[in-house]
Amino acid sequence: MNPIFLKPTLKTLIWGTEQWGISGHPSGDDEILNEEFAGKTLSALWAEKPELFGNVSGDRFPLLTKIIDAKADLSIQVHPNDEYANKNENGSLGKTECWYIMDAEEGATIVIGHNAKDSSEVKSMIENKKWNEFIRVIPVHKGDFFFIEPGTVHAIKGGTVILETQQSSDITYRVYDYDRLQDGKPRQLHVKQSIDVIKAPFENKEAPLNNEKTISESKNVRQLVSCEFFTVWYAKLENQLSVEQNYPFLLCSVISGQCEFAGKKLAKGDHFILPSGFGKAEFSGNAELIFSSL
């Protein structure tokens, strides 16, 4: 049984770049690089070879891994949950996501949460454009981690690079976009939808964990979050690392350094999937990796 290697989808946007490293979403359906699946995309492989993914139910590959390189600030935004997205966005999934900060310039910040005391104040602050009062800006450093539930106001800001693990959804509601123009016109905002879904007041909660979900006995591997949609682990590879794949599938991204795995030399920005039943995976080299599964 072989790992499934992917060719990421690259996107250039008004604020920087996105690499959709593991994606079966229609907006960026990654090509499979393995010879036995030549020409297929991840969504096609999910549909045609469900046994590779533990025969997990669902009509779409459920997760999406991105590397986001923000040269400028992203919009102030919020995502809906499954119920709201299914009803209002043609059956889409909602968007629960998390960020591992791969790099951050000195003094970099991000937006997580807001300062409104209730939903009526959310509406008032947005409609009256009280952005400095409304948004909650915090410092960010390399190695930080953030779990972002639907209904959380957030924004990646310039000078940060993140590895994002999320539900396979492309639904984003822009609350505010700094009055920027794209092709001579203001970018579309989604004020009504944003007010509908923003949770108030904001609660700054720790990421949930599940100690029963493990992939390695190494002290260099730690769980970052475990929620109903995904579990994510960080691993620091120092010479050798063994990972046990006992999940329907296990996603892997190299976020720094270089390593060897399955006869291939891998570096930052390489992504692959360990299919169901893969068992033990042996890595060598010096690198940082992010793993995720259901």
Report the mean per-residue pLDDT for the chain: 97
Of 60, 136, 174, 180, the catalytic one is: 174
Q: Read off the pLDDT of each residue in 59-82 and give the average, rounded to a whole number.
A: 97
- Catalytic site includes residue 222: no
| C-beta atoms surrounding 242 within 10 Å | 13
What's the pLDDT band for 260 if we cut at 50, 70, 90?
A: very high
Joined tokens for residue 254 = 């190299």
Residue recorded with tokens 């909602």: 94
Is the separation of the CB atoms in 270 and 256 below 8 Å?
A: no
181, pLDDT greater than 90: no
The whole-number pLDDT of residue 74 equals 96
Give the distance from CA 233 to its chain's centroid.
13
The whole-number pLDDT of residue 182 equals 85
186, pLDDT greater than 90: no
In angstroms, the CA 61 to CA 25 distance is: 7
The whole-number pLDDT of residue 237 equals 98
Angle 281-55-172 (CA atoms, 0-180°, nearest 5)?
90
Joined tokens for residue 48 = 């045609």
Q: Read off the pLDDT of each residue in 60-82 and give the average, rounded to a whole number.
A: 97
Joined tokens for residue 119 = 């939903």
Q: Read off the pLDDT of each residue in 249-267 and give the average, rounded to a whole number.
A: 97
86, pLDDT greater than 90: yes
Classify burial at 103, counting beta carbons within 10 Å of its beta carbon; exposed 0-12, middle 13-18, buried 19 or more: middle
pLDDT above 90 as % of the chain: 96
The SS3 call for residue 283 is: strand
The whole-number pLDDT of residue 183 equals 85
Is the separation of the CB atoms in 102 and 62 below 8 Å?
A: no
Specify the amino acid at residue 285: G
pLDDT by residue (tens digit) across 93-105? Answer: 999 999 999 999 9
What's the pLDDT band for 14 if we cut at 50, 70, 90?
A: very high
1, pLDDT greater than 90: no
